Structure formats: structure tokens, C-alpha cells
């Protein structure tokens, strides 16, 4: 429908559309991998995710109706992500490389869950349209592809992505803390990430450095511990 839409009918993507597309892409990613091979690891991830998702459903009522899904992969090129609508994929290779305990794994998952609850994908598309309004005249799937592949657009979105990473760290820590995890133990995830990094002090245009993330998490944790 969007393909043939005249200019007057062109519309920015909405959350329902972003979630529907994410579900299709997620199914495709699952289909091209061996998933959930390690039953114990998958059960461990799901048990932790279940508690966090239950908390998210309370804190963000709209997400209670989402078809949340959690799968694992052995893919060494993945770490963890949560697509729009609560489609989670966690790499066992990443969790093992960082030797995450359950508290730290909860922080990793909570960060990813917050990307979804905070509509970060939708907001990224909206930011792209603000900077390049011509996207409104093109099919949404082209914008969806461009935010991850068009270097010029990605450069323009770097600041948005950077802010979203900081927000997911902060709100993820708070989410897991509300779900019952001690804040200081959650922040341990960032220490392990920093120690595993080849360049812990290097920030990217779209990503704070591991050192910055660790410091920020410590500050948030110290604040939460007082409550
Ligand atoms: Zn993130």
C-alpha cells in the first residue's frame, strides 16, 4: 500500500508497523540459525528474562499485550538484542566470553528489553525522517534497511543511537532493580564488559565507551542502593 501511496497519504511508521516488521525479521533470523541448542543455557536465560519481562509488563502496560519471545544462539558474531515488540536473541558465546553470572546476565537482558519498551526503533526512524523528510515518500522497508546500512544516514543518527544506549543502560538497571536485583550486582556487567574490551576507553559516535558505561552504572547503582 505504501508503495503506491501518493505524497499526501505518505505517513511516518507507527509502532504497530515497526513491531510487525520486527516479527518478520526476527523469524527470518531464527530460521537461518541453530537456536536454543543448549537447553540449560536457554532455560537460564528464559528464567531471568521472565522476571524482567513481568516487571516491564507492569511498568509499561502497553507491552503486556506483546508476544515477547526469548531464544538463544551459539553465533559468535551476536551478543544480545531485543527487537521491537520484545523479540530477544542472546548469544551463548557472548555470555560465556564475559563469564556473566545471573545478575550480570539480568543487566544485559534488561538493557535490551528497555530498547524495546522505550520504542527505540520507532524513535530512530522518526529521527531519520526529521533529518531527511524525503523518507516519508518511500516504503518503510527502505528506511528500515537504510538505518543499518546507509553510511550517511547512520552518521546523522549516531547521536540518537548514543543517547539510546545511555538510556537503555540507565533504565535497564532501574528495571532490573525494581524486579528485585541488587543494583550493585547488576552494574558488575559493565565491569566485565570493560575488562573484556580491547579498547575500553574508546567511545564511538553512536556508542559510549565501556569505561563510561561502567562509571555511569556505578553512579546509578550507588543512588539506587540508598533507596
Ligand atoms: Zn543497546
User: Largest Cα–Cα distance of the chain, in whole Å?
Assistant: 57
Residue identified by cell 513481568 is 54
Q: Report helix, strand or coil for 88.
A: strand
- Stated pTM of the model: 0.94
Domain range for 81 is 2-225
Q: For residue 3, report the distance from its CA to the centre of ligand 1, in Å.
A: 31
Q: For residue 5, report the distance from its CA to the centre of ligand 1, in Å.
A: 34
Distance CA 41, CA 62 (A): 29
Q: How many CA atoms lie within 13 A of 189 on its CB side?
A: 26
Q: For residue 7, report the distance from its CA to the centre of ligand 1, in Å.
A: 34
* Cβ-contact 71, 30 below 8 angstroms: yes
Walk along the chain (227 residues) in steps of 10 and give the mean pLDDT of each run. 46 90 96 97 98 98 97 94 98 97 98 98 96 94 95 97 98 98 98 96 95 97 91
Q: For residue 4, report the distance from its CA to the centre of ligand 1, in Å.
A: 35
Closest to 184 (Cα-Cα) out of 128, 127, 227, 140 = 227
Residue identified by cell 523469524 is 27
Q: What is the reported pLDDT for 227?
A: 79
DSSP 25-41: HHHHHHHTS-BS-SHHH
Q: What is the reported pLDDT for 10?
A: 55
Q: For residue 112, report the distance from its CA to the centre of ligand 1, in Å.
A: 6
Element (H, E) at 89: strand 87-91
Cell numbers that stand for 218 in this block: 556505578
> Structural domain tally of the chain?
1
Amino acid at each position: 500500500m505504501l508503495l503506491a501511496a501518493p505524497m499526501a497519504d505518505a505517513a511516518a511508521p507507527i509502532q504497530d508497523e515497526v513491531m510487525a516488521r520486527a516479527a518478520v525479521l526476527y523469524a527470518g533470523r531464527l530460521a537461518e540459525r541453530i537456536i536454543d541448542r543448549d537447553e540449560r543455557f536457554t532455560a537460564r536465560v528464559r528464567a531471568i528474562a521472565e522476571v524482567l519481562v513481568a516487571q516491564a509488563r507492569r511498568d509499561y502496560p502497553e507491552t503486556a499485550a506483546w508476544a515477547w519471545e526469548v531464544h538463544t544462539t551459539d553465533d559468535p558474531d551476536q551478543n544480545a538484542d531485543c527487537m521491537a515488540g520484545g523479540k530477544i536473541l542472546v548469544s551463548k558465546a557472548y555470555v560465556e566470553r564475559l563469564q556473566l553470572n545471573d545478575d550480570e546476565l539480568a543487566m544485559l537482558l534488561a538493557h535490551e528489553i528497555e530498547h524495546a519498551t522505550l520504542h527505540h526503533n520507532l524513535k530512530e526512524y522518526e529521527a531519520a525522517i526529521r533529518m531527511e523528510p524525503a523518507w516519508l515518500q518511500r516504503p518503510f522497508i527502505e528506511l528500515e534497511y537504510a538505518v543499518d546500512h546507509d553510511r550517511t544516514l547512520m552518521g546523522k543518527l549516531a547521536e540518537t543511537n548514543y543517547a539510546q544506549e545511555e538510556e537503555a543502560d540507565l533504565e535497564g538497571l532501574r528495571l532490573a532493580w525494581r524486579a528485585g536485583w541488587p543494583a550493585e550486582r547488576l552494574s558488575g556487567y559493565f565491569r566485565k564488559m570493560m575488562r573484556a574490551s580491547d579498547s575500553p576507553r574508546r567511545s564511538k559516535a553512536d556508542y559510549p565507551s565501556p569505561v563510561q558505561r561502567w562509571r555511569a552504572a556505578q553512579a546509578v547503582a550507588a543512588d539506587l542502593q540508598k533507596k
